[in-house]
Structure 1
Amino acid sequence: MSGWRFNPVALLRGFLRPIDPMLLLLLGVLLGYAWVLMQSASPERLDNQLLHFGIALGAMWCMAWLKPSHMLNLALPLYAVGVVLLLGVEFFGEVSKGAQRWLDIGITRIQPSEIMKIAMPLMLAWYFQQREGQTRFVDFLIAGLLLVVPFGLILIQPDLGTSLLVAASGLYVIYFAGLSWKLIVPLVLAAVIGIGSIVAFGDTLCQPEVDWQVLREYQKQRVCTLLDPTRDPLGKGFHIIQSTIAIGSGGVSGKGWMEGTQTHLAFLPERHTDFIFAVLAEEFGLVGAVVLLATYLLLLIRGFTIAAFAPTHASRLLAGAVTMIFFTYAFVNMGMVSGILPVVGVPLPFVSYGGTALVTLCLGIGILMSIQRSRIAARSS
């Protein structure tokens, strides 16, 4: 011990060793957007959001230190615990705002569906790693079953937004694992025909006496509101109408920071969470929105680059799926805020207020950092 000396530079290097500089820079830009917009949209929540930043960054750093092989070893138990907790929600969960999504475990309440956003791609990446080079059609059927179970349990809570995100995270892994286009094309055609039919016969299908069977009434109303927000401008269509007004009124350069009338006159609902993109577009205009989109695009490029050069089959699947999850969050949120997708309660990634989604997304960043660090280690050995 007599020869040991405190070396702050070496300590800092050790602390930053698992961090990918490009990912950290892009994450910093997005969190900067969140900080600026939160001061305008909901300044009273800023302190809480800064706390969320700290927790999320800590979770990211811890995940970045884990080796991908260690993550995959956790895949099966994490998936099993997630499914058991979802069953617990179904039988013992607490009801809030008409949905049964929370489970009281004594010391706190948890939302088990959030666990599956990470557990689902981990589980499927581990599953296909076991079958690398010998994947058969039956393996894709088993993977689909592994996906359908948590998807169905979340959907019946009901939580359409989270169930779609979990489904997407699993489908991306299945696709990257080599799912044949012969199976993909019929599903895409069926979706196009279904959406086209709803658009073409929307007036008839949206009548009160028509039961859509596969969707709950509130979900049907969201789709019908998307087709015609003016059907109920002061009720179900209010969100979309006010959001599109905010986006359109921002113009090219925006009205200026903290000068958005839709935001500060309280016309824009959920302005600090799901509709924070409308705040951005109103106050910073097209320029601010394009910079944000460019940041997301660079994040996707970096994620796919890490996936392309990942050292193992499972890490390639996992990195590709995590990157596509970022895309899904951003696409769905901006689509629903601008009125081209139904409102499903998906936050703008890294920007919307909230701790749970932010921690989940930063865990995804940590997974990418871990995979990149394992590639560097494999190359240097």
Structure 2
Amino acid sequence: MTQETATMAGKISPRGSAGEVFLVFLKLGLTSFGGPIAHLGYFRDELVARRRWIDEAGYADLVALCQFLPGPASSQVGFALGLLRGGPLGALAAWAAFTLPSALLLVLFALGAAVFDGPVGAGLIHGLKVVAVAVVAQAVWGMARSLTPDATRAGIALAAVMLVVFVGGSPGQIAAIVTGGIAGLALCREAQAPVQGHLAFAVSKRAGIVALAVFLALLILLPLVASGAPGLALFDGFYRAGSLVFGGGHVVLPLLQAEVVTGGGVTNDAFLAGYGAAQAVPGPLFTFAAYLGAVTGMPPNGIVGAGIALVAIFLPGVLLLIGALPFWNLFRARPAAQSAMRGANAAVVGILGAALYDPVWTSAILAPRDFALALAGFLLLTVWKVAPWIIVVLMGAGGILFGLL
């Protein structure tokens, strides 16, 4: 499908190939540190601002949709952007390239490559957390300028911050988006803009319905057939964890701990060691499942267990996204939906703003020198337009230096 919409900075680029998508997302998979909120910042910088695969409003719409769905939100956004750019093969290329680097690193860690011991490793991990501060701050700054241009939408963003702060977790995020949509419906009824083609996904309604049916069938039937089949039991446990968590990232950890530690497959010490290693690798935190699948004491484990767990935890989010995409343009073409999306997009800015403080700021900025390092990264991104991977290298080196002092 052709893409004819224009961004504020010019027309978005024409559709590309799966190979191009793979290379772009491989770079992101190797450099996107900091968790799902930071990943959305990396995606925005690379694919909206630099490459113009999608415009700012379309990107915000996509983020809002993925925040509504269970599963790893940043990976779902990446899968959808790959689909938009390169079709079904582009979607698979985006998922594989963004996911496999961190999954492979965590499997190596599970097999004994513990490389983050001592002050150098601790300093590196801390420096990578500082990277997230700079990236998320840039994302909040850029999205706020385009998505909260007036007092009404700025107020919606502020209300979203309050909801996230006082309700907490994924329920707070979902409540913020729903409230933002309702507020937009009531308060953002200016002249409706015609919907452009920037969200023309190559997914038919029939394919969407099939994807939703497969999602439900696996969720219902897997527990019934997994008894006595260790491979299916492993798949079932991680599939349910991926099906029942909103917001992704750290939210999935309690479900995984209940599944593998309480069930006796992984010791609590091994679980926590793997979680610590997951903080040091780029890409989605859901790849922690690959580590758990590799170290579980019940076969299949090792490389086979890692592969089963990795596919199982991502599959439900992908199926739900495919099921929702065919109906998204129909929904957002309605005038009332456009008003609601203005409010929901403003709420996304508020959610990002709240996340900038907690957990991003609170886990990274522990001393004045951390603030100075984060500010340097922010200015390098926003003023000097330095590539994000260079920021990763510089902030990681800064963290190691501070760790040795």
TM-score over 0.5 (shorter chain):
no
Higher helix residue share: 2
Q: Which has the higher contact order (CA 8 A, sep 6+)?
A: 2
Larger radius of gyration: 1
